[in-house]
Amino acid sequence: MDNCIFCKIAEKKMPSKVVYEDELVFAFEDIEPQAPVHILIVPKKHFSTILELKDEDYSLVSHLVKTATKIAADRGVAEKGFRIVTNCNPESGQSVYHIHFHLLGGRQMHWPPG
């Protein structure tokens, strides 16, 4: 989609620190890391928020989650613990309107989140 930074990153029209890529998903380092491990996992197909997902898109969601857990293992945070977060719409703090899962790890997390 035009003017979507995460589409541009996934299409490699904008630079990023690539962590993983396959035909469906793209993962890269967050530009403003909130933890020692902070990676964004995005679908290559554009959806603005998770509210746009249709029934037929949920296999993609499971692929995104599976990718996040694999990366967590690769980065050595799986056993100690990590968090997968997706924000939806303004009150959640969503700032980029292309679905993304934050993978956060490498430090003690707190609850409730801010």
Catalytically active residues are 100
Rounded to the nearest 5 percent, the helix, strand and coil shares of the chain are 30, 20, 50
Q: Which stretch binds ligand DGP (CB under 6 A): 25-33, 41-49, 54-62, 74-82?
A: 25-33
Please give the sequence-ordered ranges of beta strands (E in DSSP) within 1-114, or none if there are none.
18-21, 25-29, 37-43, 82-85, 101-105
Q: Which stretch binds ligand DGP (CB under 6 A): 45-53, 62-70, 86-94, 104-112?
A: 86-94
Other C-beta atoms within 10 Å of 66: how many?
Answer: 12
Backbone angles phi, psi at 71, to 5 degrees: -65, -40
CB of 4 to ligand DGP, least distance (A): 11
87 binds ligand DGP (CB under 6 A): yes
Burial class (CB in 10 A: 0-12, 13-18, 19+), 2: exposed
**From 44, 96, 106, 107, residue interacting with ligand DGP (rule: CB under 6 A):** 96
**From 5, 60, 61, 84, residue interacting with ligand DGP (rule: CB under 6 A):** 5
Binding site for ligand DGP (CB under 6 A): 5, 16, 28-32, 40, 87, 93-96
